[in-house]
Structure 1
Amino acid sequence: MSNRIVSRSRWNRRRARWAAVCAGLALSLTAGPRGAAAASEDPTPPRPLSRILDVTTAVAGGLLHPQAPPSGANDWSCRPTRKHPRPVVLLHGSAANAFNNWGMMSPWLKQQGYCVFAPNYGGPPGSPFQATGPVRDSARQVARYVDRVLKATGARQVDIVGHSQGGGPTPRWYLRFEGGTNPKHPDRNKVRSLVALAPSNHGGNISGIGTLTTRLGLNPAVSAVVGQAWSDQMVGSGMNRTLDRDGDTQPGVRYTVIATRYDAFATPYRNNFLTAGPGATVRNILIQQICKQDLADHLSLAYDTNAAQLVSNALDPAHAHPVRCGLALPVLGG
């Protein structure tokens, strides 16, 4: 699919249709102040109290603050510490933006002492609906952003935490084709870890909708309305075939996938999982095998405190904490 030259208002109305079925929309309405990295002794992710966490609120927050970073992110004066030497780059999902995707995860990681960065990518500047363009173009934007983070912080590597497209094809394309890794010299990789929440790694059929549009040959038409990211993330797409041709992983990268059986977008959820190739490690986690009472769906996984602890453990496995399982709900998180 290609981007159409239309008026801004018409463009936004078209992208709004995609918001109802986006693979990475998450939930937030507030943004807080940024500050220096400072570690907290409390290992419990902050619960988003006093917020009405639903899709309506998320869309409203993203519309009100489409270019604002989430709380704790994009402090370009931040310097990594010895305990957390790698900055964390948060990559939002399709039709979402950094503000509405990372309202819980960003301050949670900042609280632990990480330098946190969260770009918008894959859409026109100022649009609340990002990550709708071609995955290849999004990966190039991510490559430039990571270089900027490395230069600003003086770090040698970053860790990436992503949701949906931002945990799946976009960072994987960056790692494989846009300089994120150096297969001959993995010690020179720019990325150490990729931690993915409900990633559309091998395509998703959006509970059968994508299968129908693919069989009917409608993906180009749908993509003309909602963005090339739709076609790119369908099972069997040209992008997926190219990305998977030489295996799922890159040498020297530590991969963690956190999936939910209640995913309605990146379906079937087993398509989230990766197979480790030479020189890489993969941990595939179905969150219900850790916390039986976790009912998080695709949308709310980025606002799930059980998942947040798994993310923290993946970033710093030497200091992992047990997950203190709590109830997490579809759309609302917890």
Structure 2
Amino acid sequence: MLPFKRALRPLAALLLAAALAVAPAATVHAAGAPSRGWNDYSCKPSAAHPRPVVLVHGTFGNSVDNWLSLAPYLKDRGYCVFSLDYGQLPGVPLFHGLGPIDQSAEQLPAFVDQVLAATGAAKADLVGHSQGGMMPRYYLRFLGGAAKVNALVGIAPDNHGTTLSGLTNLLPYFPGASDLLKSATPGLADQITGSAFLTKLNAGGDTVPGVHYTVIATQYDEVATPWRSQYLSGPDVRNVLLQDLCAVDLSEHVAIGTIDRVAFHEVANALDPAHATATTCLSVFS
């Protein structure tokens, strides 16, 4: 049995390497390190932007590195902005979002409550990238989050799982590989199309009443694949394809959530739809 398990390791390593290859590179920032103007618990929401924004990083991300561009973008537009770390595995620094996703979702209520208590707001808006755009749906459905969240904006969220550009289709040909992946990086295994976690999450519909949903996708996504599986169905849902807004935008999975100003402009529109302006290629200058 031991040699067989060793034979499975190359496949698990291949899946991990593929995910790491497109993950945001970790910088010198440690999790919880001071951010550039956000995570300021003295911030009080304005009348123009009455709800704080909670940013939820993706797999292999953390509360700083995932948001070095979007957090200041929103802060400069008058929002109180906060971000958290979740899904840490023992002995794995910097790279988070790897733990079981239902347990990761259980870290979100306390953080949102802390933000609401500090700001005095009744509700928050959530913006997440990749896993961070999907995981909060568990909080909304099963952990009472719908009463405390006005909107969820998912940037390239794997709402219905991923094939990781077809790599996960190899797993059935390697008996035991799925179990090995689940034990080593459960947060990755939970995101594979058809996982028990996703089956539970999506049973009975994609949305819950009272929450406004926006999904922003790119047709060049190589991680949350196929990209159309990111879309949600249900009332109060807006699904947006980046290339419908700017046909020449070539952003893939990482870029759409970390540096793409066209996507950022659409995030701002989703947070304040009453004052939304047209999102075009020129939005990079706004």
Q: Does 1:152 align with 2:118?
A: yes
Whole-angstrom CA distance in 2 between matches of 1:207 and 1:213: 13
Whole-angstrom CA distance in 2 between matches of 1:69 and 1:250: 34
Whole-angstrom CA distance in 2 between matches of 1:230 and 1:214: 16
1:278-313 C-alpha deviation (Å, 9 max, x unpaired): xx4000011111100000000111210000000000
Whole-angstrom CA distance in 2 between matches of 1:66 and 1:274: 31
The alpha-carbon distance between structure 1 residues 23 and 102, as it changes in their structure 2 partners (threshold 3 A), is farther
Instruction: Tell me how far 1:22 sits from its aligned partner.
Output: 4.8
Which amino acid in the other structure matches residue 106 of structure 2?
R
Q: 1:102 aligns with which of 56, 67, 85?
A: 67
Whole-angstrom CA distance in 1 between matches of 2:17 and 2:154: 20
The alpha-carbon distance between structure 1 residues 159 and 23, as it changes in their structure 2 partners (threshold 3 A), is farther
Instruction: Tell me how far 1:23 sits from its aligned partner.
Output: 9.8
Which 5+ residue runs of structure 2 have no aligned equivalent? 1-11
- Is 1:205–1:234's contact at 8 Å kept on the other side of the alignment? yes
Which amino acid in the other structure matches residue 247 of structure 2?
K
Whole-angstrom CA distance in 1 between matches of 2:21 and 2:123: 28
Q: Does 1:194 align with 2:170?
A: no
Q: Does 1:265 align with 2:206?
A: no
Q: 1:294 aligns with which of 240, 249, 262?
A: 249
Q: 2:179 aligns with which of 215, 220, 238?
A: 220
The alpha-carbon distance between structure 1 residues 240 and 23, as it changes in their structure 2 partners (threshold 3 A), is farther
Q: 1:281 aligns with which of 212, 236, 248?
A: 236
Residue 25 of structure 1 corresponds to which residue in structure 2? 23
Whole-angstrom CA distance in 2 between matches of 1:84 and 1:24: 33
The alpha-carbon distance between structure 1 residues 289 and 151, as it changes in their structure 2 partners (threshold 3 A), is same
| SS of aligned partner of 1:250 | coil
Residue 134 of structure 1 corresponds to which residue in structure 2? 100
Instruction: Tell me how far 1:115 sits from its aligned partner.
Output: 0.5
Residue 196 of structure 2 corresponds to which residue in structure 1? 238
- Is 1:294–1:327's contact at 8 Å kept on the other side of the alignment? no
1:111-131 C-alpha deviation (Å, 9 max, x unpaired): 011110000111058820111
Whole-angstrom CA distance in 2 between matches of 1:137 and 1:172: 13
Residue 40 of structure 2 corresponds to which residue in structure 1? 75
The alpha-carbon distance between structure 1 residues 69 and 119, as it changes in their structure 2 partners (threshold 3 A), is farther
Whole-angstrom CA distance in 1 between matches of 2:80 and 2:148: 16
Instruction: Tell me how far 1:219 sits from its aligned partner.
Output: 1.9
* TM-score normalised according to structure 2 size: 0.88
| SS of aligned partner of 1:98 | coil
Whole-angstrom CA distance in 2 between matches of 1:19 and 1:313: 35
Which amino acid in the other structure matches residue 132 of structure 2?
G
Q: Map 1:21-60 onto structure 2 (within 5 A).
A: 21-22=19-20, 25-26=23-24, 58-59=25-26
Q: 1:174 aligns with which of 115, 135, 139?
A: 139
- Is 1:18–1:95's contact at 8 Å kept on the other side of the alignment? no
* TM-score normalised according to structure 1 size: 0.76
Whole-angstrom CA distance in 2 between matches of 1:310 and 1:327: 9
Number of residue equivalences:
269
Larger helix proportion, structure 1 or 2? Answer: 2
Which amino acid in the other structure matches residue 224 of structure 1?
S
Whole-angstrom CA distance in 2 between matches of 1:86 and 1:315: 9
Instruction: Tell me how far 1:327 sits from its aligned partner.
Output: 10
Q: Does 1:322 align with 2:281?
A: no
Instruction: Tell me how far 1:64 sits from its aligned partner.
Output: 4.0
Residue 54 of structure 2 corresponds to which residue in structure 1? 89
Instruction: Tell me how far 1:222 sits from its aligned partner.
Output: 2.0
Whole-angstrom CA distance in 1 between matches of 2:79 and 2:17: 30
Identity score, percent: 45
Residue 9 of structure 2 corresponds to which residue in structure 1? none
